[in-house]
Structure 1
């Protein structure tokens, strides 16, 4: 799949794996010598957005054909996903979405979402979900966007995940900001398409981030946005 100077494709071979891990380390473990890999990588597909031979974005996805297997995924380490197991159909977990800091072209994110749309159509997935992160593990630094999420974008009571992490921040305990705050690109796209978030955030000391659970029910994507995404996916 291609848009302008960018191409999206699946990772293949050791060179792609090395490039992906280098980008992930830059985005999630800057200044650390610890590689950003984990036991979930082998169960995932890895998607790359390239310009020429340069990797500008990547993410990984895991498809759960049976909602009963959700507890085996990455997100389930931090959130109790039992409520989601009542939903029908396959689900796709999206993780480690990262953009190269020197490449801020919005077409990169658009192309990635076009590829995800193609994946959703191929698997007939009913839900796209994952952890959506803010940089820095001090959740109170993010009180403005988290308070905004609590005011505008909490998920339905019947589907919101419960608490599993030892350390959590109740979003509803934070005051809403006077002005809409800046949100991370991935989360902003989730919400623009009708997505929702958990009622709590989790500080991740390992990655030095604070994340919320984010979900997008495919059936609730506005028709105009769904058409635009499918146009991107070709």
Structure 2
């Protein structure tokens, strides 16, 4: 998912935001957290365009009327944004990508993690009482901005945020399109046989929602074809050093088949830490 561009990246400073507010810049794009309710609302509008208009997700009637993808977690999460500063208008009009970030301390004080509705994350947390977790969710980018640079900035923001808050591990749902896991037998089986969480990181889908990922014997799996069948976001997580939980879950509202991605900070490939910087300074403003 994240690759180094062939040519040096030009950084352009924007006069619209103080340097301390911006987590990274590449060209005319910048990443930072949402500053106010208006920017969160605009991020929800971007999510609506991607999840509802493009992916045909089904959302509550009131949210559909407002053309916003919104839920109760939005009020407690931090919202990472990517903005195109060349778009005329306010920051709300410049948002082209977003990620939702939820730290463990905040989740425990406000009702838990979103992923816990599909996966047994509480058991994972209890086995790791000395570690700080962060949930990544609602990742989306407008179609015309699905480029290396946008993805790099999203990860720049995630990495800088994780370092700031002393996060030890990230997790979140990764999605396959459609509600029939068997249609993704090759990719799901590849993940099951090669990327499954182990030992203290073990986590499973909730028993009442559990769908088997072991749909093909390992000898029948072509690694090349399986990697090609993985959604870009999940493939990107795998390159970083992530693992997947045991069992998939069908999300009928979003019309996806979900797996749980688990990424301990210590697992992150050295090449990516070197690329972004151990202090997240590679694209810092």
Fold conserved between structures, TM > 0.5: yes
- Bigger CA drift: 134-143 or 24-33? 24-33
Residue from 73, 78, 82 that aligns with 1:49: 82
> RMSD of the TM alignment (CA)?
2.3
Aligned with 1:181 (options 216, 228, 247): 228
**Structure 2 unaligned blocks of 5 or more:** 1-23, 88-93
Choose 1 or 2 for highest CA Rg.
2
Cα distance in 2 for partners of 1:26, 1:74 equals 21
SS at match of 1:181: helix
Deviates more, 1:47-56 or 1:178-187: 178-187
The residue number in structure 1 matching 2:33 is 10
Structure 1 unmatched runs, 5+: none
Q: What is the CA–CA distance in structure 1 between the aligned matches of 2:273 and 2:127, rounded to whole Å?
A: 24
- Secondary structure (helix, strand or coil) at the match of 1:224 reads helix
Q: What is the TM-score with the length of structure 2 in the denominator?
A: 0.75
Deviation at 1:224, TM superposition (A): 2.6
Comparing 1-10 and 162-171, the one that deviates more: 162-171
Q: Which moved more, 1:15-24 or 1:72-81?
A: 15-24
Question: Which residue number corresponds to residue 22 of structure 1?
Answer: 45
2:175 counterpart of 1:153: no
Q: In the TM superposition, what are the counterparts of 1:205-224 in structure 2 within 5 Å? A: 205-224=252-271
Q: TM-score, normalised by structure 1?
A: 0.90
Higher strand share: 1
Q: 1: distance between equivalents of 2:153 and 2:76?
A: 23
What SS does the corresponding residue of 1:57 show, helix, strand or coil?
Answer: strand
What residue is the counterpart of 2:119 in the other structure?
A: 79
Instruction: Name the residue aligned to 1:232.
Output: 282
Could you tell me how far 1:67 is from its partner in structure 2?
9.2
Give how far 1:70 is off: 10
